[in-house]
Amino acid sequence: MEALASSSRAPVRARWLGRVAYDDALALQAEAAARASRGEGETFLLLEHEPVITLGRNADRSDVLLSPARLAELKIAVRESNRGGRVTYHGPGQLVGYPVLNLSPDRKDVKRYVTDLEDVLIGALAGYGIRGERSTRRERVTSVWVGNDKIAAIGIHLARWVTTHGFALNVTDEPLAHFPGIVPCGITDGGVTSMERLLGRRLAVEEVARAVLPRFAAVFGREIIAP
């Protein structure tokens, strides 16, 4: 096992899960959140999803542009979610990160938590020579952009200051083919991009997951235990 950074708290256990169905990931998050609530440790789940469109708490169903028949043909599931935000797509080629942390007692600030997640992604992208930025033109949009193209989305849920859900970072071009089927996060004046498109080369999602860990450890001041 590898330890990254240091903290007075117990280490956060990072787990690379590979490809996971959305419902299975929800169950894993619920188990991890129960452990965190009991003070039994924190978890950082890193994975790819099977194709799924998720509807956050502020979602408008009309932002799903594909018909039920077309969704079935493409084998894309649709799920409602208790995360913040609107409609987004998850699928192979996208790194999904679900930090399950207890923000009590010293980090009980939702805006800070979201900003920290943005910092993690911006720092990880910088390691590949990609300049990611927060949205400056869109209020209340939690995401990371490269120019006018979104490369990562963030949507979170907190219950008694225990976090679930998290971020989705487009690593390969594969997810991009599915975004025309939705109005991502309700945004109509911007595009989407991926690390592969910007770098001109394909990356392994697991490689990028490992690159995220040191930045996460630094931003959150946590020790990370990863296989």
Which residues are catalytic, by number? 185
Residues 224, 196: Cα–Cα separation, whole Å: 27
- State whether residue 59 is helix, strand or coil: coil
Residues 147, 190: Cα–Cα separation, whole Å: 9
Q: Which of 218, 117, 217 is nearest to 226 (CA)?
A: 217
In terms of DSSP bridges, do strands 149-159 and 191-192 run parallel, antiparallel, or are they unpaired?
parallel
Q: Are 39 and 69 in contact (CB under 8 A)?
A: no
Report the 3 state secondary structure along 24-44.
HHHHHHHHHHHHHHCCCCEEE
